Amino acid sequence: MFPEQIDKPVSVFLDLVELEETTAASIATALLNNLHSHGISQEQFLCNHFLGFASDGASVMLGRKAGVAKLLMDQFPRLIV
């Protein structure tokens, strides 16, 4: 699914995730769990290839102290939001 060398950025529609809660922590967890369920592991792939995160402007998504983007940036410091 993921070739070793990619010349151009690739966008893939992967899945829709039904959320049990709408807190930043539960959204970030649901996102990472969904990626893991598709065989995309944090250790082998995400640490090296997860480069960007885009969302709407909702505070739960982009909150500076505890938004989804902040929680993801804590795990992936090179992430561009």
Is 45 domain-assigned? yes
Is 44 domain-assigned? yes
What's the pLDDT at 13?
Answer: 86
Please choose, from the candidates 31, 15, 38, 39, the residue with its C-alpha nearest in 3D space to the C-alpha of residue 75: 31
Q: How many domains does the chain have?
A: 1
Residue 17 pLDDT > 90: yes
Is 66 domain-assigned? yes
| Domain coverage including residue 49 | 24-75
Is 67 domain-assigned? yes
Residue 44 pLDDT > 90: no
Is 69 domain-assigned? yes
For the whole model, what pTM was predicted?
A: 0.79
What's the pLDDT at 12?
Answer: 79
Is 17 domain-assigned? no
Is 14 domain-assigned? no
* Tens of pLDDT, residues 48-77: 888 889 899 899 999 999 999 999 999 998
